[in-house]
């Protein structure tokens, strides 16, 4: 694990990103307090085909119909906080 202060990291971002992509854990800190961790993005190798989940997901015919509870809230007068 490599912890580096934000001030020290400013001019070395590309190097820090390269290190993170290579598998090294990089922690950015401010005043010795860890703030964030640089980690590589996991890229999926699974091929996604349009329609591959067909028949697996169902959406109700009235999915986008207003909810009665919500309409009741809209009809109530606004109150100040």
Q: Taking the domains of the chain in order of start, what are their residue ranges? A: 2-38
The per-residue pLDDT for 65 is 86
The per-residue pLDDT for 3 is 94
Instruction: Tell me the pLDDT tens digit for each residue of 16-29.
Output: 999 999 999 999 99
CATH number of the domain located at residue range(s) 2-38 in this protein: 3.40.1620.10
Residue 81 clears pLDDT 70, i.e. is over it: no
Give the least confident one: 1-5, 60-64, 74-78: 74-78
Strand, helix or coil at 75?
helix
Buried b (16+ CB within 10 A) or exposed e, 17-27: eebbeeeeebe
Structure tokens at 8: 């020290």
Structure tokens at 62: 């009235």
């Amino acid at each position: 694990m490599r912890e580096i202060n934000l001030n020290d990291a400013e001019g070395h971002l590309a190097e820090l990103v390269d290190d993170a992509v290579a598998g090294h854990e990089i922690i950015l800190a401010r005043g010795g307090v860890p703030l964030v961790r640089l980690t590589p993005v996991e890229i999926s190798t699974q091929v996604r085909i349009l329609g591959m989940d067909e028949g697996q997901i169902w959406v109700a015919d009235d999915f986008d119909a207003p909810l009665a509870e919500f309409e009741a809230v809209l009809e109530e007068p606004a109150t100040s906080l």
